Structure 1
């Protein structure tokens, strides 16, 4: 982490980590194209694992039909909706979303035993773009306690961001500019919070090494299978106030071998994308 990292920084990481979820996809869509990396598994029930981050929560209105699989669109029942950002190669379309389970608060091995980990079902794809490897899936819960827990964490994060001068600007217009300024001005630390191999969430830290283009950027932060779709946060103690981690919608997309490295060192990449 940058020199001068404060306790507030670590508290901010803990807050953000509460919004990170594990995604278990239990079907591979028949709609994936021939050149897709998972084309050979189309139509199968082979379990795949990924990571995502909760971005929005809303409560149903009186008399609103619940879209969850159990209610089947026929029951007016109190419910809460929230969206999860992840990589499209993790969840390709609504067919895969409906076959996905989202695990919240899977923080350590005891999370499942003591009931802290909560699981909800995704119901549909709300946004998908293959060129940026990004998608947004909709999830539904009837658990008011769970909804309140999500709301508390999300409000804490949103309250912090909405009062920061950088995010008071238009995010879409400034995200790429800020990223370029950071990468040109010195080391930029990239924090990844993910569920490697489907295990409890881990926090890893690395640096941006190249890119900062409109298409993608590369970084050394350690990741594993299961980290795909994890949110990326940029940290630079000189530009940002202590504890501020901007998230411009970047998610971890994958890795590629560094050609010049004899020990098969891998570099990670994310496609630059901003959703607001």
Structure 2
């Protein structure tokens, strides 16, 4: 299909082609659920999606022999639980020229990506930034902040964050019907790095059921990611297994498994990865877990999926999230010194 259509279809096709090799899915021609199903069915990158495992169907034997330790299996499970879908309903006029969607500024066509929960905090020390509290004469004094890691090309700034719906626990289609899937609205971009294609997005919620679900995850997540701040030892090895958990085509979360094929080092630290694990539009911002980390794979030691069909047909990450720690160290020390997940 050429990007020469008319009306909503032409706008959507134009925006879809305005991201280069990045992998957001773009909607805007009809109901999102129908467009998602159609994009999945018509996918040309991975026809049939044979390499994709629906999260509820994931089993230990999906991992290669020798990689099925309880720690690694639990890492995948916990990481899947905290993987989220992002639906971005606006493209900011402030996007830099030459950046993804730079020719679609002002567009209200929805683009979707993936991400994962980096932190959850119960807050009463600062006012809630949600739209209801911001316009209320009696804002709620207590709220839950959810910080999500994604790619900068998925959510670029606070203006876009405030037009972003973050869907948690979207495990399968039943999740939408039975109420397991929860949605929180974005409120602020805490940190963004265009060169490293990394973003920390803050959401605010008063949903007590959602807060309870996240608190139920805390013990397992805290144990699994106990050494998440130990960045120096992260050395993903070429040839070893990596796992990606994402929402391809905006569909329920899927797991793909492949190998690390190449690494890029910056200042002596691995900063980017190339890998064979399958991805599709909608996978942008997803976690990339190299499973050869000591013990369990950890989100702070993981990379953010950014590019598909790159060099040699491989997929590529943006910067490994830990590599940019010094650049937002002040933020972490002052505002995120204590982690909930």
How does the TM-score come out when normalised to structure 1?
A: 0.85
Please name the residue that 1:253 is paired with. Answer: 306
Question: Which of 240, 246, 261 is 2:294 aligned to?
Answer: 240
- Structure 1, gaps ≥5 residues long: 260-264
Query: 1:6 aligned to 2:68?
Result: yes
- Structure 2, gaps ≥5 residues long: 1-62, 326-331, 333-341
Question: Which of 189, 192, 199 is 1:128 aligned to?
Answer: 192
How does the TM-score come out when normalised to structure 2?
A: 0.70
Alignment check: 8 A CA contact 1:190 1:232 kept:
yes
Q: Secondary structure at the match of 1:43?
A: coil
Question: Which of 251, 254, 274 is 1:218 aligned to?
Answer: 274
Question: Which of 43, 46, 65 is 2:106 aligned to?
Answer: 43
CA distance in 2, matches of 1:254, 1:155: 33
Please name the residue that 1:56 is paired with. Answer: 119
Alignment check: 8 A CA contact 1:65 1:73 kept:
no
* Superposed CA offset, 1:110-144 (max 9, x none): 11111111111000100000111000010011012
Deviates more, 1:119-128 or 1:37-46: 37-46
Aligned pairs (5 A) from 1:1-276: 1-6=63-68, 8=70, 9-61=72-124, 64-72=126-134, 75-162=139-226, 167=227, 171-175=230-234, 178-179=235-236, 182-183=237-238, 187-214=239-266, 215-236=271-292, 240-241=294-295, 244-247=296-299, 248-259=301-312, 265-274=313-322, 275=325
Alignment check: 8 A CA contact 1:190 1:235 kept:
yes
Q: State the shift of 1:193 in Å.
A: 0.4
Q: Secondary structure at the match of 2:217?
A: helix
Q: Secondary structure at the match of 2:167?
A: strand
Alignment check: 8 A CA contact 1:87 1:228 kept:
yes
Q: Secondary structure at the match of 1:31?
A: coil
* Superposed CA offset, 1:237-272 (max 9, x none): xx734xx2233141101123445xxxxx34333323
Runs of 4+ in 1 over 4 A off after TM superposition: none
CA distance in 1, matches of 2:118, 2:291: 20
Alignment check: 8 A CA contact 2:272 2:316 kept:
no
CA distance in 1, matches of 2:135, 2:219: 29
